[in-house]
Structure 1
Amino acid sequence: MACAEKQPMVVGIDDSEHSSYALEWTLDHFFVPCSANPPFKLILVHAKPTPSSAVGFVGPVVGAAEVLPLVEADLKKIAARVVEKAKELCTSKSVHDVIVEVVEGDARNVLCEAVEKHHASILVVGSHGYGAIKRAVLGSVSDYCSHHAHCTVMIVKKPKIKH
């Protein structure tokens, strides 16, 4: 790359195997072949749900004030596990120059805001492969980002295993 400064690449990470596959695919295709001088600055972003949104999924909870700290602790543990797994994967591929961020909020908004914050030229997200009904109910992070992120969005799909 002729530019002195590398273009930022944001990769969304979560605790799914689809996310792990997308990160591994990205490392293999953009970083490992040129590990001495990768073309991008790698930024991993994990969107940690708010405790109230996590509890809100099941409806109103009696004694929510007592439950929220427990939910927050669990969400922090999950975030730490996601970050550790992603760092281990990067290290196993000899990719050490990585910025990792955990940002509280909805993944759709967190990733689009990370693109803006870092002036990313590309956003990589994994595809969960939801069908139309699940996508309509749960919403698709990749679909939202492809329409709202102000950069190229690469959606990495894990190949289906043939029996």
Structure 2
Amino acid sequence: METLEEEKEYCWKEVALPHIVPVVAEPELEREPFAERRRGRDILVAVDHGPNSKHALDWALVHLCRLADTLHLVHAVSSVGNQVVYDASQVLMEKLAVEAFQVAMVKTVARIVEGDAGKVICKEAERLKPAAVVMGTRGRSLFNSVLLGSVSEYCIHHCKAAPVIIVPGKEAGEASVI
């Protein structure tokens, strides 16, 4: 007899981002030779309340984003039904969306998803098919991250939809930034 493995329901909430970000007309990039550059790309950034994910977002805004791109912020939580956690996450997403517009003038979409961070990020990457998945790391050595496990290690092995870019934390130094 075979046992069927039931997949847990995928719970998430879209975040209503602030209206203080002005609505900008679509940029005219008609001189671009490739249609995909005119459309812009989707870039997924995994964020949390830590300084390393903020550093990864800053890195993505400076080194990766272009004017027509859409930045997708994903934050994994244990329960989307917990109002305190949801409110704190929403405030974080709003702050990051305003910063993304001020720095790179990119459109931002935010989503708070319930579940294990690695699985959630891979599932979102599968859904969006982004140009890149950007995430921060605590700067552990390769040996420690493999032994102790990490979200970035999980995503490297399981995220097949997009290349994963791991940005070390500030304490690792600028020389090691990919």
Give the TM-score normalised by the residue count of structure 2. 0.66
Instruction: Tell me whether 1:16 sits opposite 2:45 in the alignment.
Output: no
Larger relative CO (CA 8 A, sep 6+): 1 or 2?
1
After the TM superposition, which residues 2-151 of structure 1 pair with which residues of structure 2 at under 5 Å, given as runs? 2-4=34-36, 5-31=39-65, 34-35=66-67, 37=68, 40-50=69-79, 72-130=82-140, 136-137=147-148, 139-150=149-160, 151=162
Distance 1:134 1:28, change over 3 A: closer
Q: Which consecutive residues of structure 1, in runs of 5 or more, have no partner in the other structure?
A: 52-68
Count of aligned pairs between the two proteins: 137
Q: Name the % identity.
A: 27
Shift of 1:74: 2.4
- Work out the CA distance in 2 between the residues paired with 1:84 and 1:161: 28
Which ranges of 4 or more aligned residues in structure 1 deviate by more than 6 Å?
none
When the two chains are superposed, the root-mean-square deviation of aligned CA atoms in Å is: 2.5
8 Å contact kept, 1:24–1:89: no
8 Å contact kept, 2:61–2:104: no
- Structure number with the higher helix fraction is 1
8 Å contact kept, 1:13–1:82: no
- Aligned AA (2:57): L
- Aligned AA (1:26): A
CA-to-aligned-CA distance 1:24-82 (integer Å, 9 cap, x gap):
11001122xx43x4xx432111112228xxxxxxxxxxxxxxxxx8xx23211221132
Q: Which consecutive residues of structure 2, in runs of 5 or more, have no partner in the other structure?
A: 1-31, 174-178
CA-to-aligned-CA distance 1:134-162 (integer Å, 9 cap, x gap):
8745x311110011101210001123278
